[in-house]
Structure 1
Amino acid sequence: MNVAAGNKGRSASNPYYFLDRALEPIRDFLDDPLVVEISVNKPGHVYVERLGADHMEFRQIPALSAEEIQNVGERVAGVTGQFISRSKPILSAALPTGERIQIVLPPAAPEGGSISIRKQVVNNFTLEEYRDNGSLDRVSVAVGGLSDIDRELIALLRANRIYDFIHTAITKRVSILISGGTSSGKTTFLNACLKSVDPHERILTLEDTRELFPPQSNKVHLIASKGDQGTADVTIQNLLEASLRMRPDRLFVGEIRGAEAFSFLRAINTGHPGSMSTVHADTPMGAYEQLAMMMQQAGMSAGFSKQDLMSYIQMVIPIVIQLRRDGGKRGVSEIFFARDET
């Protein structure tokens, strides 16, 4: 049999034949009606989310090599009229069957590439069904503008229980900004905070130099171009936009420096609380000022006063942990909690 002719015949009858073949390693998940999310973190490492499950489950698929991930990217690009390469390694699209797909290839995904597929799931529930299945049983009611978590954190801070305050803020998914000058230990402290995050959470790190090492197994590392270096033209802003389609529980950005400030705040405020980053500043209020200035310089503050921006930033990231270097010793010098009314 002429294999080339056979393939040509199949592709003529099915214009998506080569894409379907590229997706074959994850076909079982695509066809499973209970699977709502498929996340290929790196070659061979796949996490799937099933309806009603508390955590994503890990599956090892050796057939899903770096070459196959690239093949998927090229096939998706082909059927959607787009382009993906080492210089343009990010692709967002929809599969012919409706699933949303996000692909990030090297060098932006340096471990061999990453794929996230979100399946369309529409459930027709009534309010009574929400009530009866327990979906309304764990509602947190804020009194006087403060939630139970806010009150707990305020009590810990006033009691000077600094470790408990930081640990509780992390585990309760309150977003934190780590501020400090050069060589004050910001990245080291951010790595320490990562160790307090639930091991089942899905973590995405976004940096221009690999310095964050989350211990969680479900993680994806994304790397931006540094200045004009490298083959890819990818910014932290580009990575933030892509990461929102990759089902992160939290985002950890190595450092906020510019236009990505607004995107980071939006990411937190649209379903990713507990995210963290660092910024160069000498005081907590200086850290907020830096973010506001970045947003203004990026032209993303039209119609908003500086005070409006500061209020929004403090609402989204209520905690700033200030670090300092005193001689050869680095440590926490100040903590600001925007929801502490005193």
Structure 2
Amino acid sequence: MSIQIKNKKFQELISKYRYLREYVERFVSTGYSVPAFYEKLEDSLKFVKKPNVLYPISEQVFIHVYAMQESADGYTIYGVIEPPEPHPLLMQAINKIFAIHAGSISPPNEYQEKFLILDEFLANTCVKVNGSVDYSKAMLKNNKVLVNAEEFEYLKYHFIRRRIGLSLLEPFLTDPYLEDITIMGNGNVYVVHKLFGPLKSSVWLSNDDVEELMINMAEQVGKTISHARPVVDATLPEGSRINIVFGKDISRRGTNATVRRFASVPLSITQIVASNTLDAREAAYLWMMINEGMSIFICGETASGKTTTLMASCAFINPTWKVVSIEDTPEITLPHANWTSEVTRDTGNPQSSVTMFDLLKAALRQRPNYILVGEIRGAEGNIAFQAMQTGHPVISTFHAATVASLIQRLTNEPINVPKTHIDNLNIALFQSAVQGKQGKLVRRVLSINEIIGYNPATDSIMFIPVFNWDPGEDIALYRGKGSSALFATKLLVRRGLSKKDESLLYDELEMRASIIKHWISNKIFNYHDVYNNIVKVKEMGLQAYMERMGVKYEIVK
């Protein structure tokens, strides 16, 4: 079948990889048009209602996202195109030889070492030929195997993927555009795409496939999963977070797992502002508050982007401060030289396990300038407030949708913070995934609130919403000069300023917002580039930095 392809790079790949050409030909023969090929996906694609897009995620693996002509469940398809499985007799012969060979190898620690060992093993074991090979007679003397040259590439891909990769999940974990991967027992794998939203993959797994895959994955990350210990939380080698629930006795559809993807380089504050999650003035406000050591809770529901906002905002922490982060599974990444990352340990034995509570107590003895907590959900919350009381500011994520629900959770079991102590928390930021104007889910900061204190007359917590999101206009509304109690009660005192100097703080807010807009207009988006510029602002001072960089000072009343 002849197909018309205009994109030159796509033509080259179709010619190079027979399995890709055959896939596209089969797809077109069912009545679809040729997929649009992108070497790198564009943000504008998130507004396409019926995509038909193909893109590479590695040299040999491609992803095809397309809307079906008729769909019973309404899902758009996430198709994985990878080299076909090598002949089973060939794989059997290679595995047999490798089992003998592996006994003489010292176990390597690094992924690259493992890859080189397997690559060298295949190169030394396989004798490539151009013609067809009868794999029932392919075994040669001296543990050599005849392999068709084209099939050698398929063999190499699958052999290495099974030995040091994550088997069937490898393509999903290679795709930089995926946020979540869900395996729900017997059935298709589902994903959440950064541009196309929820998708159903073409990969179908049986319960046996899932159980074998989960046991292997748990072993790779040094965890044991069984019917005795059926729930595992872990971090995969490439940084993703995985939660596994094992066995049909507690999961009716069988073993299931959810993988939360995290970029190796965190999103920067400029990327978040550019995506309209929050605006430049809100980011500038966080910059000022974090510079002064305010305690902040970033609140919202699951997958609202809390951890992303936390990491982006933490670039504002003074570069010379000591920072301690405490997490169940390591997600937080900071550029600070004096940063200590601590992770809980669950051994199943209370004597040897280390909890968030334990680590927070230990952190108070380390004299940190800032304590970051991946998520507060239990008794460790009480210790976090004790840390705030003793002058150790805390930034954490928290599951709550409103200030009222935040207070309810903090003041009740298991956290039990007295209402009179709530004002040790300075700021509560609320974030959510909402439906945008184009019908796609987008993340927005709904409000940034300053916690004022406890009012005994009404038995309530007083707070000021300095910023609110307007869903109709999709903009952040700012209450204007004089709206921040923290400027008046905290920042003026810390800087040794009088009440008449309060307007200078609001001018500074606008100056910092102008700097952030300048970075965005100059496409300074890389996390480390943004951090380096934040450090320059600290070293040079606002005025000198703005003059040096030609930043236009905009005051918005």
TM range (shorter): 0.3 to 0.5
Larger RCO: Structure 1 or Structure 2 (Cα < 8 Å, ≥ 6 residues apart)?
Answer: 1
Structure (1/2) with the larger helix percentage: 2
- The alignment's TM-score, normalised by the length of structure 2, stands at 0.29
- The alignment's TM-score, normalised by the length of structure 1, stands at 0.47
Q: Greater Rg, structure 1 or structure 2?
A: 2
